[in-house]
Structure 1
Amino acid sequence: MAAPVKERIGQVVLPGDVLLLPPSPREVESGLGLQLNTPAAGTRVVCGPGLRRHGETALLVSKCGLLRYKDPAVYWVHSQQKRYVPVKGDLVIGIVTTKSGDVFKVDIGGSEQAYLSYLAFEGATKRNRPNVQVGDLIYGQFIVANKDMEPELVCIDSCGRPNGMGVIGQDGLLFKVSLGLIRKLLTPHCDIIQDLSKVYPLEIVIGMNGRIWVKAKTVQQTLIVANLLEACEHLTAEQRKSVFARFSDM
């Protein structure tokens, strides 16, 4: 049964639920709806993960989780999802599994592997090919990601520059966390990353597909950093600061 989206914010929603959007100002003026005290009224609604449009006046839930809202009119479903679904523009960490001619196949943790051309690297030409081997870690961005086509990665931006993308060093540690924690770590000025950098100097690469690569000065410090990041998913802010303080005093 359909319910107003405002009433379901912060509650558990299930696949198939229909959420009614607030009426537009035109509908209110004509008497077709009721004025709602919400900033989403009359603004363009953005559907995040777990939601899709259902006609012009409703949203359809596609996965289980908590319904979240952010001004001015952004809705999404927060869940502890493990399986990644490719999205155009996402930056991900992949593992090269096959090297065949001009094409690399990359495992990105989804239902199928991604396609990566050897020309999708900075300065790559037919004579100057990138040095990429099976087993290498790749940090790249999706330029094609839909249900009808094979996902495609590139390691350059629109200006042909790597902008941090490419082959990742092999000395660090790769591990996997939930997609919910990834979104938290990628928020601007994330407290977790700032507090962690005060414990140990480190290098870190975060992929939207739930993979994290870290490297500290020693193997022991690298393992500690990985364990701290995994624990952050289940710690409050106060608990996290207390745990980080123990290692910063060592």
Structure 2
Amino acid sequence: MTESLIVPGDRLDIKSENIILGPGFYVDPKTDEILPTNAGILEVSQKQNKTVYVIDSKSKTYIPKTNDFVIGIITGTFGELYKVGLSEFTQAAQMSVYAFPNASKKNRPHLKVGDVIYARVLSAERDIEVELECIDPTTGKEGGFGQLEDGYLFTVNLAYARYLLFNENAEILTELVKKCKFELAVGCNGRIWIKSETVKTTITCVKIIEESQNWSKQDIPKKLKEVWAAFN
């Protein structure tokens, strides 16, 4: 079985013969072109003499991998360790109070329960608690990691979060930045943190990103304009 990340409107090289399509596809009646209508992981497998295409867009279980960027919430402190929640369905990770640039006994962050952080998965080995750090391994500096203050935290499906994180030209973000200025952090664990100029603008951005999970690329400019007008 092969897997790849897709979003609505992507062009797929799928022939309409000898195939089985799961939910989340649209077949253009004029051209017979097959298009995805959901963001997710495209799984391709063989069943007898047919090729099966399925979009897994509902996965809620985040499985940490080394070097993943994640957004965590401090859930407890134990000595010189923080407990960090990554998602409702994932076991908590741990992070040292020294896992920050230039941290020492006299100079270290004092995070409290409920604080939000942007971190990197330092290690994720089987049967060992996942460990995080807020240091860019290539520079030894902050590199965008650390505490995320104010702003708004929300979730999207895991596949869409990865799409936004790894696609520099993600259509929804390139269109949204034309409307307002904002700070954004996206985690592989499906969490997104955003902060804009006003609370109203921030909430509008959240609504747009949440709804865009089911928009086709072609519809993004129009639908974004509609939602923006409804909230402003």
**TMscore range, shorter length:** 0.7 to 0.9
Instruction: State whether structure 2 residue 127 is matched by structure 1 residue 151.
Output: no
Aligned with 1:207 (options 173, 187, 201): 187
Name the residue aligned to 2:94. Answer: 115
Name the residue aligned to 1:95. Answer: 73
- Distance change >3 Å, CA 227–CA 5, structure 1 → 2: closer
- Distance change >3 Å, CA 151–CA 188, structure 1 → 2: same
CA distance in structure 1 between the aligned counterparts of 2:161 and 2:41, rounded to whole angstroms = 16
Name the residue aligned to 1:232. Answer: 212
Say which is worse superposed, 157-166 or 94-103, in terms of deviation: 157-166
Aligned with 1:178 (options 149, 157, 164): 157
- What does 1:1-250 align with in structure 2 at a 5 Å threshold? 66-67=42-43, 79-80=56-57, 81-109=59-87, 110-158=89-137, 159-169=139-149, 171-186=150-165, 187-246=167-226, 247=228
Are the equivalent residues in 1 in contact too, given 2:41–2:159 (CA < 8 A)?
Answer: no
SS class of match (2:130): strand
CA distance in structure 2 between the aligned counterparts of 1:138 and 1:111, rounded to whole angstroms = 16
After superposition, the C-alpha distances for 1:127-182 in whole angstroms (9 at most, x for unaligned) are 2221211111010001111222110000002232110000111x211001101111
Give the superposition deviation at 1:248. Answer: 6.9
Give the superposition deviation at 1:96. Answer: 0.3
CA distance in structure 1 between the aligned counterparts of 2:162 and 2:2, rounded to whole angstroms = 23
Are the equivalent residues in 2 in contact too, given 1:140–1:155 (CA < 8 A)?
Answer: yes
- Counterpart of 2:119, as a letter, is G
State the structure with more CA Rg.
1
Q: How many residues align?
A: 187
Are the equivalent residues in 2 in contact too, given 1:120–1:156 (CA < 8 A)?
Answer: yes
Are the equivalent residues in 1 in contact too, given 2:115–2:147 (CA < 8 A)?
Answer: yes
- Distance change >3 Å, CA 243–CA 210, structure 1 → 2: same
Unmatched 5+ residue regions in structure 2?
A: 4-12, 23-39, 45-53
- State the TM-score, normalizing by the size of structure 2: 0.73
SS class of match (1:139): strand
CA distance in structure 2 between the aligned counterparts of 1:13 and 1:113, rounded to whole angstroms = 37
SS class of match (1:198): coil
Are the equivalent residues in 1 in contact too, given 2:101–2:142 (CA < 8 A)?
Answer: yes
Aligned-pair identity (%): 34
Larger relative contact order (CA 8 Å, sep ≥ 6): 2
After superposition, the C-alpha distances for 1:164-212 in whole angstroms (9 at most, x for unaligned) are 000111x211001101111221212211111011122111111110000
- Counterpart of 2:183, as a letter, is E
